[in-house]
């Protein structure tokens, strides 16, 4: 227990030591504040009321690395950082730490911090700890508190997957991962993920910062909803356990800098196989049916009948059933009499299977007794399993802080799934809803109450699945999906927003939810298209869901409708043609999505981004709208209201925009009204951009790839640039050089477009020609540099310039 302090005497700190970039302040009663100068734009603060660490190790911090040690990283481990030059100064009242980007001032009476960021020639004060009781020095209870002064002109974006508006101001949120089946995307809290990071943006000065609280505990953020007359305007963070351990990340001029740096801080996003960007079929109904193998075969038949492009199918947990209940790793041979033949039948059509797995064993699971005797379960202090409610039964969670459990799990993944040709794992129902204080986790030899780090179990589960896939097929990139997760999940998995409710409101607010997740370092995500729970979507809503979902890294149609119907591309014959066309449009853009995921992996760039993040200096982009940027080049404006055939879109100022469908150009800084038929979602391309496309004619089971680039050269003198990554899409050969790039540059002036197309590195197949599409109303003469223009024709508002490439 921490020793209580007298409320009237806040601790008086003094500089105790400085060893390199680690500065220690101490006060009476063993109070301790440690500062870590990690980069010119990142400083870490660790507050220890009694001088001792109370939380477990960290599994979040992996600067620029693929992962952390399996047993976690010591809290004071500073490997991976290159500390910058900095200076320490002060007087009797303050200690000042200054880098080239940050100035931190610590008030020695009480330890409150004030933060300034250098933008241009001037320092800007961006954050102050609350002057009254900013920290809990053992005054109240065992919880961790951080109170910060709040400004009314601030925006708060992030906190991972949250319901409601993108700007979190004046709201409160709880991070306590639960199975929120049928949630409201506008109001439900908490949800599935635990990402205690957010960005504060101050539009008046175009400065901001990210705050990451490195905790595994359940925690809560109040962003100004609470008001207490004794303390002025404030916001706060409270964690149930552990320590106040936070990272301040400076972000001047653009909030995207903080996103990139936070993503770098917490590890490199996984580079997954290209097929993970294709349409993924999914429904619980097929595998719950008594003739599941036949029903699954019908899905392939319908894809072929309607020419629905498809790369994977998410195999729901009904394949593991005994009666009405689910038993992880148990194949129901009555439903699937020929497992290998079933899997191969999908692979023969180019469709991979991603099998659902769950981390809880029901009490009557065939393996339960053996697993319990081996000590692989989270157990109570008396050694009995720590019983939890799981679906319609009682069971116990596996303990992934036990190396023996990890070994057991990996063996089951390999022998039960991968050995049959299953390509990937779908890590589901992994919120680890453990509430009793008596449940104990092994903690890699340092046992602690399991409820203090539930999200760690989730992380280690997905890591074990990832490692199993890598060990089984070391030459292939693993593909995994996880519903729940925390900081660092982007190192392993693709994710989605869980079991959403079918409604127009969900469509609208899931868009914002996904943007908040991307601004929290997790870009490879999507939603259950059409809605998972509730009524079946009517034709218009379903088509609009598809028209939005095709632009997200994860595109899966998944459902458990109240009336027993199934969300499938052909569920409404009156819109099946439009849905098939939209899915083909998705495949047309896959080279761009693949490049954006490469930029996420290599440069920590968010794939989707809010309008204000890309255009922070345009005041109209600060509004909480229903548009998004896909990368920096494409503006997507989904229809999120019923009965709309047109869409009003505000075009950010300072650049021109061109409609993908018509080739018409519009000046920025205005609102335009564009047609929005079901099969033609509103898409605009930014001036100066060059976007890769796949223009090959594609059909189900017959993949094809023909590279082209759609470009918007500046109207006057200027340059348009773009590039895209090329590799075999699946293997690990890219690590040893089997990867190349297209680089396209178009220099324009009043009379000519000078087009340069370069190929560098290894290419999966030789290309004799490539097409460049420019707006039809751009009549300037096309001149090829390093190639030869061999054909030109126009269609659908675009000039198609075919260029012969040197061999």
Average pLDDT over residues 476-484: 98
Q: Domain with 709 in it: what CATH number?
A: 2.60.40.1180
Within a domain: 694:
yes
Task: With a cut of 80, say whether residue 2 has pLDDT above it.
Answer: no
**C-alpha 797 chain-centroid distance:** 35
Please report whether residue 229 resides in a domain. yes
773 and 655 fall within a common domain: no
User: What pLDDT shows up at residue 1?
Assistant: 47
What is the mean pLDDT of the segment spanning 275-281?
Answer: 98
Average pLDDT over residues 293-302: 97
Residue 520 lies in a domain: no
| pLDDT(339) > 90 | yes
Tell me the mean pLDDT in the region 169-182: 97
- pLDDT at position 7 is 52
Evaluated on CA atoms 668, 672, 675, 677, the torsion sign reads: positive
- Has residue 508 been placed in a domain? no
What does the pLDDT average to over 112-131? 97
- Between 5 and 577, whose confidence is greater? 577
Q: Are residues 104 and 249 in the same domain?
A: yes
**Whose CA is closest to 502, among 465, 529, 467?**
529
pLDDT, one tens digit per residue, over 64-80 is: 999 999 999 999 999 99
Residues 652 and 729 in one domain: no
For 630, the domain range is 608-686
On whether both 24 and 137 belong to a single domain, the answer is yes
Give residue 320's pLDDT. 97
What's the Cα-to-Cα distance from 453 to each of 43, 177, 219, 313, rounded to whole Å? 25, 11, 11, 32
Residue where a domain stops, chosen among 250, 265, 280: 265
Q: With cut-offs at 50, 70 and 90, classify the pLDDT of residue 391.
A: confident
Rounded to whole angstroms, how far apart are CA atoms 58 and 77?
10
How far is C-alpha 533 from the chain's CA centre? 22
Residue-wise pLDDT tens digits, 508-538: 999 999 999 999 999 999 999 999 999 999 9
β-strand 752-761 against 740-748: which pairing, if any? antiparallel
pLDDT recorded at residue 8: 63
Please tell me the predicted confidence (pLDDT) of residue 302: 98
**Mean pLDDT value across residues 460-479:** 98
Provide long-range contacts, Cβ within 8 A and 24+ apart, for 759-763: 759/805, 761/726, 761/737, 762/726, 762/727, 762/737, 762/738, 763/726
Residues 33 and 168 occupy one common structural domain:
yes
Q: Which helix (H) or strand (E) holds 397?
A: strand 393-397
Cα 89 from chain centroid? 40
One domain, residues 701 and 655: no
The pLDDT of residue 767 is: 85
Residues 746 and 629 in one domain: no
Report residue 392's pLDDT band, with 50, 70 and 90 as the boundaries: confident
In a domain, 93, yes or no: yes
In this structure, the answer to whether residues 644 and 784 fall within a common structural domain is: no
In 138-284, the DSSP E strands lie at 144-149, 155-158, 172-175, 193-194, 197-202, 207-213, 219-222, 234-239, 244-250, 280-282
- What is the pLDDT of the chain when averaged over all its residues? 96
Q: Is residue 196 one of the residues assigned to a domain? A: yes
pLDDT in tens, 186-196: 999 999 999 99
Mean pLDDT calculated for residue range 307-333? 97
Of the residues 237, 265, 293, the one at which a domain ends:
265
Query: What's the CATH number where 238 sits?
Result: 2.60.40.1760
744 and 616 both lie in a single domain: no
Residue 656 sits in the same domain as residue 777: no
Residues 615 and 707 in one domain: no
> Residue 633: inside a domain, yes or no?
yes
Q: If we measure between CA atoms, which residue out of 551, 534, 593 comes closest to residue 729?
A: 593
- Whether pTM exceeds 0.95: yes
When divided into structural domains, the chain yields a total of 3
User: What confidence tens digit (pLDDT) does each residue in 32-46 have?
Assistant: 999 999 999 999 999
For 778-807, how does the pLDDT look when each residue is reduced to its tens digit (9 = 90+)? Answer: 999 999 998 899 999 998 999 999 999 988
Domain termination residue (choose one: 651, 686, 721) = 686
Are 42 and 174 found together in one domain? yes
In this predicted model, what pLDDT tens digit does every residue of 655-708 receive, in sequence order? 999 999 999 999 999 999 999 999 999 999 999 999 999 999 999 999 999 999
Residue 184 lies in a domain: yes
pLDDT digits (tens, 9 = 90+) for 228-246: 999 999 999 999 999 999 9
Q: Longest Cα pair distance anywhere in the chain, in angstroms?
A: 83
| 6, pLDDT greater than 70 | no
pLDDT of 383 > 70? The answer is yes
Residue-level pLDDT at 402? 98
């Amino acid at each position: 227990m921490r020793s209580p302090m007298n409320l009237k005497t806040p601790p008086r700190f003094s500089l105790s030591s400085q060893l390199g970039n680690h500065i220690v302040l101490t006060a009476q009663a063993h109070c301790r504040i440690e500062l870590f100068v990690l980069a010119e734009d990142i400083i870490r603060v660790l507050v220890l009321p009694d001088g001792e660490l109370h939380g477990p190790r960290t599994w979040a911090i992996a600067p620029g690395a693929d992962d952390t040690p399996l047993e976690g990283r010591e809290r004071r481990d500073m490997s991976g950082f290159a500390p910058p030059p900095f200076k320490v100064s002060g007087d009797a009242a303050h200690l000042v730490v200054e880098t080239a980007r940050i100035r931190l001032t610590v008030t020695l009476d009480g330890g409150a911090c004030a933060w300034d960021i250098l933008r241009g020639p001037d320092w800007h004060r961006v954050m102050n700890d609350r002057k009254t009781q900013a920290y809990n020095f053992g005054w109240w209870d065992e919880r961790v508190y951080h109170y910060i002064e709040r400004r009314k002109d601030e925006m708060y974006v992030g906190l991972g997957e949250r319901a409601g508006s993108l700007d979190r101001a004046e709201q409160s949120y709880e991070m306590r991962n639960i199975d929120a089946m049928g949630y409201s995307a506008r109001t439900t809290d908490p949800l599935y993920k635990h990402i205690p990071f957010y960005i504060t943006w101050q539009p008046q000065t175009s400065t901001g910062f990210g705050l990451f609280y490195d905790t595994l505990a359940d925690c809560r953020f109040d962003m100004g909803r609470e008001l207490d007359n004794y303390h002025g305007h404030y916001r706060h963070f409270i964690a149930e356990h552990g320590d106040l351990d936070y990272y301040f990340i400076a972000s001047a001029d653009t909030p995207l800098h903080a996103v990139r740096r936070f993503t770098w801080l917490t590890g490199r996003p996984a580079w997954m196989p290209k097929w993970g960007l294709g349409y993924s079929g999914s429904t619980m109904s097929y595998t719950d049916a008594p003739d599941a193998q036949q029903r699954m075969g019908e899905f392939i038949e319908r894809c072929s009948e309607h020419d629905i492009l498809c790369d994977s199918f998410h195999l729901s947990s009904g394949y593991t059933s005994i009666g009405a209940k689910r038993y992880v790793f148990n194949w129901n041979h009555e439903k699937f009499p020929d497992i290998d033949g079933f899997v191969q039948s999908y692979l023969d059509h180019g469709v991979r299977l991603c099998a659902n797995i769950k981390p809880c064993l029901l009490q009557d699971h065939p393996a339960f007794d053996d697993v319990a005797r081996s000590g692989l379960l989270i157990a109570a202090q008396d050694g009995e399993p720590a019983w939890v409610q799981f679906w319609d039964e009682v069971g116990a969670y596996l303990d992934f802080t036990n190396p023996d459990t990890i070994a057991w799990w990996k063996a089951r993944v390999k022998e039960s799934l991968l050995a049959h040709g299953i390509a990937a794992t779908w890590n589901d129902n992994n919120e680890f809803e453990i509430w009793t204080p008596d449940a104990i986790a092994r903690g890699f030899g340092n046992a602690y109450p399991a409820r203090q780090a539930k999200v760690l179990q989730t992380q280690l589960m997905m890591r074990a699945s990832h490692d199993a896939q890598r060990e089984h097929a070391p030459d292939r990139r693993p593909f995994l999906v996880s519903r729940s997760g925390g900081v660092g999940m982007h190192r392993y998995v693709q994710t989605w927003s869980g079991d959403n409710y079918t409604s127009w409101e969900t469509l609208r607010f899931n868009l914002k939810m996904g943007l908040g997740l991307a601004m929290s370092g997790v870009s490879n995500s999507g939603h259950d298209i059409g809605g998972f729970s509730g009524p079946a979507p009517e034709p218009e809503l379903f088509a609009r869901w598809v028209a939005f979902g095709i632009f997200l890294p994860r595109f899966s149609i998944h459902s458990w409708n109240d009336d027993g119907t199934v969300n499938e591309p052909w569920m409404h014959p009156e819109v099946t043609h439009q849905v098939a066309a939209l899915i083909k449009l998705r495949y047309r853009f896959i080279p761009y999505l693949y490049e954006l995921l490469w930029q996420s992996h290599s440069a920590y760039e968010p794939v989707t981004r809010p309008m204000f993040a890309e255009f922070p200096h345009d005041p109209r982009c600060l509004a909480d709208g229903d548009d998004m940027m896909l990368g920096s080049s494409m503006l997507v404006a989904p229809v999120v209201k019923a009965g709309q055939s047109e869409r009003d879109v505000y075009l950010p100022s300072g650049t021109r925009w061109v409609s993908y469908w018509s080739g018409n150009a519009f000046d920025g800084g205005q609102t335009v009204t564009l047609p929005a038929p079901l099969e033609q979602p509103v898409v605009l391309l930014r001036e100066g951009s060059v976007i890769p496309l796949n223009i090959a004619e594609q059909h189900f089971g017959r993949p094809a790839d023909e590279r082209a680039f759609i470009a918007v050269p500046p109207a006057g003198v200027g340059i348009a640039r773009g590039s895209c990554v090329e590799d075999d899409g699946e293997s690990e050969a890219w690590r040893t050089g089997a990867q190349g790039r297209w680089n396209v540059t178009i220099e324009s002036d009043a009379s000519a477009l000078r087009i340069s197309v370069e190929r560098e590195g290894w290419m999966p197949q030789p290309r004799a020609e490539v097409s460049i599409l420019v707006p039809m109303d751009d009549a300037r003469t096309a001149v090829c540099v390093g190639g030869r223009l061999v054909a030109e024709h126009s269609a659908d508002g675009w000039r198609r310039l075919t260029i012969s490439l040197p061999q």
